[in-house]
């Protein structure tokens, strides 16, 4: 978007009054002091041009150019990396670590990565952003400090812009 903004040095009524007064002074000086019509025309045009330049300088025009960049919303996924993730929940169900790996291979996460700025964090006793593939993860943390992880994640990010999912 391109706009032309006017930032006059003084209020508009004062500026209009000063321009009218200057025009009147130029006209009076031309009619009273110069006899030749040709000189009146040449001097009048030059003075009018200089008056227009002065008025333009007093109006202080500015060109504003706005460029809008749309950022994708951020989505944080927090994954517990403690040893309890590999403990079997029930004899027939996969471990929570396996469920997390299935989730990371799912189409829904792939779609979320297209729609959001996806960032993955792991935590046990401390929070860390992960850039390595989930297959290389070791779920061997000594303890789970979910509240501490959430608090440090919130301190380290603009939490109002984040959506979060915890495993």
Using one digit for the tens of pLDDT, what is the confidence trace for 7-49? 888 898 998 898 899 889 888 888 888 788 888 888 888 989 9
Q: Which of 65, 88, 107 is the endpoint of a domain?
A: 65
Same-domain pairing of 90 and 51:
no
Instruction: Identify the domain containing residue 141 by its residue range.
Output: 74-166
* Last-in-domain residue among 30, 65, 100: 65
The tens digit of pLDDT for each residue in 64-101 reads 888 888 888 888 887 877 777 777 777 677 777 777 77
Please indicate, yes or no, whether residues 51 and 107 belong to a single structural domain of this protein. Answer: no
Q: Alpha carbon 138 to chain centroid distance?
A: 37
Could you tell me if 6 and 60 are in contact, meaning their C-beta atoms sit under 8 angstroms apart?
yes
Tokens of 148: 């501490």
Q: What is the CATH number of the domain that holds 145?
A: 3.40.50.410
Q: Does the global pTM surpass 0.85?
A: no
Give yes or no: residues 92 and 48 share one domain.
no
Exposure string over 54-76, b if 16+ CB within 10 A, otherwise e: ebeeeeeeeeeeeeeeeeeeebb
């Amino acid at each position: 978007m391109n706009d032309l903004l006017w930032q006059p040095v003084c209020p508009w009524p004062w500026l209009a009054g000063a321009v009218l007064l200057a025009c009147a002074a130029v006209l009076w000086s031309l009619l009273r002091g110069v006899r030749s019509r040709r000189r009146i025309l040449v001097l009048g045009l030059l003075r009018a041009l200089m008056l227009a330049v002065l008025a333009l300088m007093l109006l202080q025009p500015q060109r504003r150019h706005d460029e809008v960049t749309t950022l994708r919303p951020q989505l944080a996924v927090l994954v517990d990396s403690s040893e309890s993730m590999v403990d079997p929940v029930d004899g027939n169900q996969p471990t929570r670590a396996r469920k997390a790996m299935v989730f990371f291979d799912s189409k829904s996460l792939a779609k979320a990565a297209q729609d959001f700025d996806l960032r993955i964090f792991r935590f046990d006793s401390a929070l860390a952003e992960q850039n390595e593939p989930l297959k290389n993860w070791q779920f061997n943390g000594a303890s789970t400090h979910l509240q501490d992880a959430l608090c440090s994640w919130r301190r380290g990010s603009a939490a109002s812009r984040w959506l979060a999912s915890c495993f």
